[in-house]
Structure 1
C-alpha cells in the first residue's frame, strides 16, 4: 500500500536523468502489475499492464506492489498474494520491469497458525546495514487490545530482514502503537532520522499520520495528528527538490490524493497539482533510467 526513494540516490544526485516509476494494480487484482511514469513527480502517464501476472500464493492475486532498487541496480518487489487466509507475501526481482525472476511465496507468518492475513508488504533498503527490511500488517485474533474493530481486523505491523531474498531473519513485531495499524512506510531523511508514515485503521479514524524514530526499526514515537481524510490508505513517498510528496489512495472519495511537506509536521494538499491514470491503485514509487523507460514505453501494455 507504499516506498520510497530511500537508502539510494535520489533523482537530484543521479549522474543521468531519472524518471519516476509508480507500481500499481487494478481491481479485482487478478491481472498483475501495472505501471505509470512521471518526469516531475506530479503528473503521471500510464504504461498499462499487466507486466507481471501473479503466480504466487493461493489466491493468485497481486495487490499493493512495493518495489525498491537495491545498490546493485536490481529492483526487488513484494506484494499481497491473498486478501484473506494467507500467511506470506509474493516476491520477484527485475532489472527493467519486463523480464522478471521466478516468483516466490515467502511464508513469513507460517509460525502463527491463527494469523488471518498478510497485507501490504513494504520493502525498504537499509543502506546503513546493507539489508532489506520488509514490513506488513497481520491480524492475530485476541493478541492485542482493540477498539471497535472485530478480532479478525485488529492489525499490527511485523517485519523480517534479508540480504539475498534466500534467507530471512525470524519474523518479529515491528509496530504496536496501541491501535489497529496497516500500510506503514519507512522514510529515511538522513542518518539516525527516520519517519514512519502509517494508517490508523481503527473504525473511527481510517486515516494517515506519521511517527518518528532514529532507526528504520524504531522505536517510533511522537505520533502526529492525521493529515488525510477519513477512508484513506496506501501512502507512498517521494522527494522532489526540497519537498516530500506523500501520495495516498482516498478510497472513500474514489480518487487519488497527495500532500507535500518539508518537515513531516505541516502538510499541504496538492490535489490540484497532480494527475494519475484512471483506476490507479496504491503501490510505491522508485526511479528508472531513460533507457529502461523507453523500453517500457515500447512494451506498453494496453489491457
Structure 2
C-alpha cells in the first residue's frame, strides 16, 4: 500500500498548492476504484492503481466522493445494474487506505424497485449532514411518458451524519420525466444548482434546476445544455468558472462545458484531456493537509 501512496502523492504534485481528484472506473466495472488527478482541473492523469475493490460478484460504477467536517472521505457507488436495493460504501482518511466495502440498503419501502443507480454524495456544510441522491424505477408509480415501466426513473434521497443511521427515503426530484445522474452544486448560502440527466428517449441529455436549499425542492428546470446521449455530470469550480464534465457516450469521449451562471454554457471539450477508458465519477479539491501528509509520508 505504501507503493500506492507514493505513486499517488507524486501524481498529485504535492509541491503545487492546488490539486484535484476525479473518481473513476473502467468497464466492465468489476475492477475497482481508480483516482485521476490534476493540477488545473482540465488535464487529468490516471494514478494507474486500484485503491478499492468491490465485493466479489459485484460492480463498482459511478463512484461519488465527499469529505465531511472531520476530514474523513466517503465514497458511494452503484453496486449492481438491477435486482438489488442497495449501493456500495467505504471511507478513508487519506484517499489511499480504504475501509472494507459495505452495502447500504435503500428503497425498502418499495419492494418492486427495479434498480438503484448512481448514488451521489453531497456534504451540506450549512447543516453538517450528507445528502445521498440516487435514481430508481418503481413501476407504475409515475406517469409512464415515453419510457417503459422498468425504465421510468425518478430521483430519491436520504440524509445521514455518520453513515450508520439514515433518514427515511424521500422523493428528491420528479421533473415530470425519467431522470437520473444528479449532482448538487453549492454556489453560496441558500443558492444551489442541480445538474442531472433527462433520461427520456430520444433526449438523454443534461439539464439544470435551482433551489434555495440543498435538499430542494428544485424548480426552473432548464432546456438541455448538452447534445443527446450524454450522462454522468460532475462539476468543479475554478475561480469564477464552473466546469461541468460529462460522459459524451454518443461520441465516445468525455465532454466539458464551462459556465459562469448555469444559464449560458460554452463547450470546451477540446481544451480538456482525460485518460482513455475513464468513466464518470466526481471531482474533489484535495485538501492541503491531506496533500502534504501523503507527500511527506513518502520522502
TM-score (norm 2): 0.90
1:48 maps to 48
2:11 maps to none
1:200 maps to 198
Q: Hey, what's the Cα distance between the residues in 2 that align with 1:220 and 1:131? A: 19
Cα-to-partner distance string for 1:52-93 (whole Å, 9 max, x where unaligned):
00028xx41100000011121111100000011110111101
* Secondary structure at the counterpart of residue 67 of structure 1: strand
Task: Identify if the C-alpha distance between structure 1 residues 53 and 111 changes in structure 2 by more than 3 Å, giving closer, same or farther.
Answer: same
* Secondary structure at the counterpart of residue 251 of structure 2: coil
Cα-to-partner distance string for 1:112-135 (whole Å, 9 max, x where unaligned):
110000000000001111100000
Q: Hey, what's the Cα distance between the residues in 2 that align with 1:209 and 1:107? A: 28
2:6 maps to none
State the 1:293 CA deviation.
6.0
1:37 maps to 37
The unaligned stretches of length 5 or more in structure 2 are 1-15
| Matched ranges for 1:136-285 at <5 A | 136-285=134-283
Structure of greater relative contact order (alpha carbons < 8 Å, 6+ residues apart): 1
The reply to whether residue 291 of structure 1 matches residue 289 of structure 2 is no
State the 1:146 CA deviation.
2.1
Is the CA contact 1:156–1:180 (under 8 Å) kept in the aligned structure 2?
Answer: yes
* Secondary structure at the counterpart of residue 58 of structure 2: coil
Number of residues paired by the alignment?
280
Is the CA contact 1:35–1:47 (under 8 Å) kept in the aligned structure 2?
Answer: yes
| Matched ranges for 1:16-165 at <5 A | 17-55=17-55, 59-165=57-163
1:8 maps to none
2:3 maps to none
Q: Hey, what's the Cα distance between the residues in 1 that align with 2:197 and 2:27? A: 21
* Secondary structure at the counterpart of residue 18 of structure 1: coil
Is the CA contact 2:18–2:40 (under 8 Å) kept in the aligned structure 1?
Answer: no
Pairwise CA RMSD: 1.6
Cα-to-partner distance string for 1:277-297 (whole Å, 9 max, x where unaligned):
11000000002243366489x
